[in-house]
Amino acid sequence: MKSISGWTAVGVSAAAVMGMVGCAATAPPNARVASSEAAIRAAQETGSRNVPRAALHLKLAEEQLENAKALIRDNENKRAEYVLMRAEADAELAISLSRTSSSNAQAGAAVDAARAVRTGTTTP
């Protein structure tokens, strides 16, 4: 039969192992950072800054990326991953909004051209 000090040592060892497992840090979400940065770059290149609603989401994505990088520096990697997911989603929304705006402008121009042809008021 084990003594009380033997059981205490087992209990302390078990608690230490559980503590190490519980405190194990998740790896920095480097791939998520890269994909968020790529989405933000794509939003910038599609002209999202020129479309008010898209510019708002692009700005949010940029702020969230910076916030996530600060969280990574503080070893809050799991939380940073969620913030990066939001940043990427906002950047993708900015891309969609700028493309929609561009498509709507092109459609409007096509409608105007069709009306001009129909009424015979085309300009050379």
Using pLDDT thresholds of 50, 70 and 90, give the confidence band for residue 95: very high
Indicate the average pLDDT of the chain.
83
pLDDT-based confidence at 83, cuts 50/70/90? very high
Q: What is the pLDDT of residues 37-73, one digit of tens each?
A: 999 999 999 999 999 999 999 999 999 999 999 999 9
* Structural domains of the chain, with CATH: 27-117 (1.20.1270)
- Quick one: pLDDT at residue 91? 97
C-alpha distances in angstroms, 91 versus 50, 60, 71, 103, 110? 14, 8, 19, 18, 29
- Residue 30: its pLDDT value, please? 94
**CA–CA gap between residue 28 and residue 124 (Å, rounded):** 60
pLDDT of residue 10: 54
With 90 as the cut, is the pLDDT of residue 20 above it?
no
Q: Per the confidence metrics, is the pTM higher than 0.85?
A: no
> Between 117 and 6, whose confidence is greater?
117
**Residue 111 three-state SS:** helix
Q: Dihedral through CA 84, CA 85, CA 86, CA 89, nearest 10? A: 120
